[in-house]
Amino acid sequence: MSNKAMDPWFAFGLGVGSKNAQGAWLEVFFPAPQIGGDLPSSHVAAEHDALAKLLGYSGGNQVIEVTAEQLKTLPLAAKTYQPFVDSSRPVVAVFLASDVAPESVPEAYLKLHLLSHRLVQPHGQNLTGIFKVLPNVAWTNLGAIDPAELPAAQLKARLSGAPLTVRMVDKFPQMIDYVVPSGIRIADGARVRLGAYVGSGTTVMQEGFINFNAGTEGPNMIEGRVSSSVWVGAGSDLGGGCSTMGILSGGNSTPISIGKNCLLGANSGLGIPLGDDCTVESGLYLTAASKVRLVARDGSDGRTVKARELAGRSGLLFRRNSLNGALECLPIKGSIELNADLHDHN
């Protein structure tokens, strides 16, 4: 990294955000977050150093509010930081020297941006306690509003003849209001949270969902639920109404991953990691404790195991026996293949 004055550091972002009437942060937008060791050019590294010096950054993880007057004094402000000079919203610089649990809204939002900008993958940074850090926010056509201040804002908007539209009330905004990664298609923006990693070539249909700290390698077809902590390998297809088990609640502590070229049938469910080239039959919910009868290629019955013993293995088909309803696992050859034209969004 050319930025010797800042070594070592984890991430940096200059953002603009919203506060409530008490001055508490509601959200922050970081248009160009940076990850340590990956400054895009020498002039950005120089501006980064200049801003740190101007703000009195002395190391460690710091959140420092920035004024337009300060930005105007930077020797290279006409480049990277010039758009922030005329901001009517609060501007903040976040310096993260180490990857520890976020302690403030700006820190949490910077880490969510790193994921959606594809600078880190799910599980690639510490997000412990993020739910306690993030406030609940009313996301409206006029921006973020503290729910306690929403009634007054709604009345003011109606009296002015411009009714306020509340899209949702949640701790996480929709990703595409902050980041639109290249090469993707999302049919319903509200179903992909900021902090999702959406790989190039991914299609998220109307009923598809991707949570924060989860994502797809791309290309992928997502018509089901990618829960928090879940990673979907390239070429895999999640059928309509299917779900993957996250680790935020429910007692599951093993992050679920889906290998390359896998298929989760419509309305199926997955509670174990899959290797490559696996298929889960439509309507079948496979948990770690599910008892699975192994069936050899010649059709002979084998022993019965718990599904967790098959976690991470490739080339498997999980199905229900249509005669007796038993859950079975068979080895299969070949893999699914996504329509290349359907997932070329560049």
Domains of the chain: 4-135 (3.30.70.2010), 140-170 (no CATH), 175-343 (2.160.10.10)
| 309 classed as catalytic | no
> Which residue, among 125, 114, 122, 105, has the nearest Cα to 172 in the 3D structure?
105
> pLDDT grade, residue 3 (50/70/90)?
very low
- Distances in Å between the Cα of 345 and the Cα atoms of 28, 93, 187, 197 are 28, 33, 13, 16
**146: Cβ–Cβ under 8 A, 6 or more apart, which residues?**
20, 21, 24, 26, 135, 137, 138
Q: Work out the number of other CB atoms within 10 angstroms of the CB of residue 19.
A: 16
- Is the Cβ–Cβ distance between 310 and 295 less than 8 Å? no
280/87: higher pLDDT: 280
- Is the Cβ–Cβ distance between 10 and 99 less than 8 Å? yes
> Which residue, among 23, 166, 32, 49, has the nearest Cα to 104 in the 3D structure?
23
Phi, psi of 16 (to 5 degrees): -125, 140
The pLDDT tens digits of the residues spanning 231-281 come to: 999 999 999 999 999 876 555 567 899 999 999 999 999 999 999 999 999
205/162: higher pLDDT: 205
Give residue 250's pLDDT.
52
Give residue 303's pLDDT.
87
> pLDDT grade, residue 343 (50/70/90)?
low
Q: What percent of the chain has pLDDT over 90?
A: 73
Residue 285 has pLDDT above 50, yes or no: yes
The pLDDT tens digits of the residues spanning 225-239 come to: 999 999 999 999 999
163/2: higher pLDDT: 163
Give residue 299's pLDDT.
59
Residue given tokens 């922050």 in the structure block: 28
Tokens of 105: 């809204």
**249: Cβ–Cβ under 8 A, 6 or more apart, which residues?**
none
Tell me which of 67-71, 156-160, 170-174, 230-234 is least confident: 67-71
Identify the active-site residue in 223, 281, 309, 337: 223
> pLDDT grade, residue 2 (50/70/90)?
very low
Give me the chain's average pLDDT, please.
89
- pTM beyond 0.75: the answer is yes
> pLDDT grade, residue 4 (50/70/90)?
very low
Give residue 45's pLDDT.
63
* Separation CA 248–CA 141 (nearest Å): 30
> pLDDT grade, residue 196 (50/70/90)?
very high
The pLDDT tens digits of the residues spanning 5-63 come to: 434 468 999 999 999 999 999 999 999 998 875 444 445 566 777 888 889 998 889 99
> pLDDT grade, residue 222 (50/70/90)?
very high
- Helix extents (H) in the chain: 42-54, 68-72, 105-116, 130-133, 150-159
What is the pLDDT averaged over residues 192-206?
98
Q: What percent of the chain has pLDDT over 70?
A: 86
Q: Are strands 263-264 and 209-210 parallel, antiparallel or unpaired?
A: unpaired
The pLDDT tens digits of the residues spanning 98-136 come to: 999 999 999 999 999 999 999 999 999 999 999 999 999
> pLDDT grade, residue 68 (50/70/90)?
confident
> pLDDT grade, residue 208 (50/70/90)?
very high
What is the pLDDT averaged over residues 155-175?
96
What is the pLDDT averaged over residues 63-77?
82
The letter for the amino acid at 263 is L
- Distances in Å between the Cα of 42 and the Cα atoms of 3, 45, 80 are 8, 5, 12
